[in-house]
Amino acid sequence: MTPFIDALLLQAGYNAALVAIGAGLLGFAAGASGTFMFLRKRALVSDAVAHATLPGVGLAFIIMVALGGDGRNLAGLLLGSAVSAWLGVLIIEWVVRRTRLAEDAAIGAVLGVFFGIGIVLLTVIQTMSAGRQAGLESFLLGSTAGMLFQDAVVIAIGGSLAVFVTWLLRRPMTLVAFDSDYAAAMGYDVRRVDLLIMGLVLAITVTGLKLVGLVLIVAMLIIPPVAARFWTERASRVIWISGAIGGASAYIGAALSASAAGLPTGPIIVLTAAAIFVISMLFAPVRGVLAAVIRHRRFQARVHRRQGLLALAAAHPIREGYTLRLLAREGLVRPDGEPTESGRAQAAKIARDERRWDIAREVHQDAGLTGRYDGLTPIEEVFTADEIGEFDRRLGPPTPVGAV
């Protein structure tokens, strides 16, 4: 445990600290920038973008070598990957706009074909100058541990730019993500905003490509926004929560991987993010699974309580075990099913409310009020005391339970 805490506190050496900080920055930027792709229901476009970088990497290497330079120049490789990924984005957009193919088919086609071209180019490179291409395979799975100071600087600059643009243009992007027709009616150029959203993802992909690899950068763009969505209903907050989740999982993941041998950084970061996702899905308030279960149980209890009291009021026997237990726990019935004093009182109240509602429906033609009858909303929440008094006057005096 100690090495992990050391790594977490940046005490595990220069390189580990550098990796943790760089990965944390990248995670934050990826989480924040991936948000709108997820809200636009296009999360998998990031997958296509990531795979579409491969031919660019290969082609850039070939061109740089053909021009007599060093094929492994990182700036050149990243430029190539950006160009080919942008081409992929444009092709997806073009196919969806110009043909009747659905978006998922366009995304999948670009992903598979670009990766295929990339593999062809990699085999070309293998044959043209053996040994020198060794670095290119790291684009598939990344090489986080080998991060240099300049890599961290590149991430810091690229990441903050992407986050800044995300923050700056959050309004048009939110609008397009939730209701593109309305956005178009408001005068926004939906196509341009869509391209911008994809461009942000592209920027993050290219920045992080060398570090986590093209398969795992997709995870950093998709998982944090999905996890963040559980915690809030506001798009503006999803961005920051998603960034925080991405940053935290990358930082913790990097620390974990530095604390023991044989723990590759990229996969550990992704699995940390996946763990945060699972926790979010299960335990988030309101949208989480546990919250939904509790909500359901409460609703169930209210329905059973009401049905039980109505049965008491009508002097019907209760055979449902759960209802009996529920009423007994509140002291409304004795274990043999006979109502107690307070049980009779509550039952009479519920039965009377039920008759009040009947009157209310006769008196009020306003469906907006009487439509709120669902059996569980207390009548006092819908009508004023005066109105209820009026219903009672029409009903006549209260009658004891069982005397109907």
Please give the Cα distance from 292 to 282 (Å, whole number): 9
Q: Does 120 bind another protein (CB under 8 A)?
A: yes
For another protein, which stretch binds (CB under 8 A), given 97-105, 153-161, 177-185, 187-195? 97-105
Give the Cβ contact number of residue 382 at 10 Å.
Answer: 18
| Shorter beta-carbon distance to another protein: residue 212 or 388 | 212
DSSP three-state, residue 365:
coil
Where does residue 71 rank: exposed (0-12), middle (13-18), buried (19+ CB within 10 A)? buried
Among 28, 86, 115, 383, binds another protein (CB under 8 A): 115
Q: Does 65 bind another protein (CB under 8 A)?
A: no
Query: Which residues touch 320 (CB under 8 Å, ≥6 apart)?
Result: 304, 307, 308
Q: Interaction with another protein in 185-224: which residues (CB under 8 A)? A: 215-216, 218-219, 222-223
Which residue type occupies 271? L
| Shorter beta-carbon distance to another protein: residue 106 or 193 | 106
| Shorter beta-carbon distance to another protein: residue 237 or 393 | 237
Q: Does 139 bind another protein (CB under 8 A)?
A: no
For another protein, which stretch binds (CB under 8 A), given 99-107, 175-183, 314-322, 372-380? 99-107
Instruction: Give the Cα-Cα-Cα angle 178, 183, 188 (nearest 5 degrees).
Output: 135
What contacts 24+ positions apart, CB below 8 Å, involve 394-397? 394/359, 394/363, 395/352, 395/355, 395/356, 395/359
| Shorter beta-carbon distance to another protein: residue 73 or 123 | 123
Radius of gyration of the chain measured on its C-alpha atoms: 31
| Shorter beta-carbon distance to another protein: residue 248 or 326 | 248
Q: Does 95 bind another protein (CB under 8 A)?
A: yes
Residues in touch with another protein (CB under 8 A): 38, 41-44, 46-47, 51, 95, 98-102, 104-105, 107-109, 111-120, 122-124, 127, 137, 140-141, 215-216, 218-219, 222-223, 225-226, 229-230, 262-264, 266-268, 270-271, 273-274, 277, 281, 287, 289
